[in-house]
Homo-oligomer: A and B are copies of this chain.
């Protein structure tokens, strides 16, 4: 499959802007067989959407996402809206035979995510592809981390430490937003930040989270609001302990109250043969401890992940010429376009998004039930992953 592929993007806020740059740039750097055409941008407000389309480079606008999805010049639907609309749009797009890229978290509930995963599986049988936008998989340093684990350089994984720390709610007078409303966002830091570190930890280690014990907290329960209620109905912070399918144990924390930390998505992994450490605030670096090094010469290496041998890097600049946040999205759409062109399933697919959703649900369940150990569900169509939870206990 070669030629152009028409993209329709729903939503044009932060995610819309960064996705647009990826769609505009990907074929300038990666040898994709399919060149994206920025066909239509969809937003609720006509004027603002027209402005955004002009600025971001989209050829047309729609104000009804159903119309956008239905357009003949759209073969791929890119969902950049809040989580409460993901399921509806994705299901419609897949039903219409359109490929789908959906922002994370996949949905606001396990039930929605299950429906989406089922629809994606059915669509895949017809050659329609779908992908969840866990862009941190496309950070070259994390790709290198995964490669080292896969090659056995870390040995057996024992410890995982994953935190995602921001501080934009640290100020109690920061205003209300849709991200603090459960009906819109599904959850708070858990879905927004926690989803990223769950996916990243699972992807890098190659192990799934199998059970959790959790607490969560809402530090500020009312915030100034111009429109409607200022009641915060989501978690401000969520912390959980976890066991992984391969025997590792770990801890996770998501918060927007870590004053001074702007985007500290950190991942530390210790294995029997090596260790790695990563912090997105230094996203071009991976720390690697090679247990095979002679004792007197061993130490965490600060690998500047800008070498041509590193994932995705060969497409860009010489060593030491850093990449930024937006490039992870360029990598993401490159992989998606490649999958569509070659007729293979991109990763992470909706099934993987569902698995993350089940972890998030187990976290919420455990936090609501006195932190009791809560297995992560693996149920079929009827289950929401919560049925098997009763009576669980570990270690």
Contact = CB atoms under 8 A, between A and B. Distances in A.
A341 interface: no
A318 B193 CA distance: 14
A216 B373 CA distance: 13
A125 interface: no
A395 B373 contact: no
Interface of A: 14, 18, 20-21, 24-25, 27-28, 55-57, 144, 148, 158-159, 161, 163, 165-168, 170, 172, 213-217, 219, 237, 239-241, 243, 249-251, 253, 255, 257-264, 270-275, 280-284, 286, 288-291, 293, 295-304, 306-307, 309-310, 316-327, 366-373, 392-395
A157 to B, nearest CB: 11
A83 to B, nearest CB: 18
Nearest to A371: B213
Given A24-B28, A324-B324, A373-B370, A299 B301 contact: yes
Contacts of A237: 158-159, 249
A309 B296 contact: yes
Contacts of A240: 241
Contact of A214 (B241, B273, B368): B241
Contact of A239 (B28, B241, B372): B241
A159 B255 contact: yes
Given A259-B272, A272-B170, A320 B280 contact: yes
Given A257-B159, A259-B270, A317-B326, A302 B303 contact: no
A263 B372 contact: no
Contact of A253 (B28, B213, B251, B284): B251
B306 A298 contact: no
Number of copies: 4
30 contacts: A14-B317, A21-B25, A24-B24, A25-B25, A27-B55, A158-B219, A159-B255, A168-B318, A168-B319, A170-B270, A215-B249, A215-B373, A237-B249, A240-B241, A241-B241, A259-B274, A259-B291, A260-B274, A260-B275, A261-B270, A262-B304, A286-B299, A290-B297, A300-B302, A301-B301, A322-B322, A323-B325, A366-B371, A368-B395, A371-B371
Contact of A170 (B280, B291, B300): B291
A293 B259 CA distance: 12
A291 B395 CA distance: 41
Contacts of A258: 159, 270, 275
**A257, A320, A393: most-surrounded residue (chain B CB, <10 A):** A320
Which A-B residue pairs are the 7 nearest by beta carbons? A263-B320, A262-B320, A260-B289, A370-B393, A324-B324, A299-B301, A213-B371
A37 to B, nearest CB: 14
Nearest to A326: B317
Given A259-B272, A259-B289, A301 B298 contact: yes
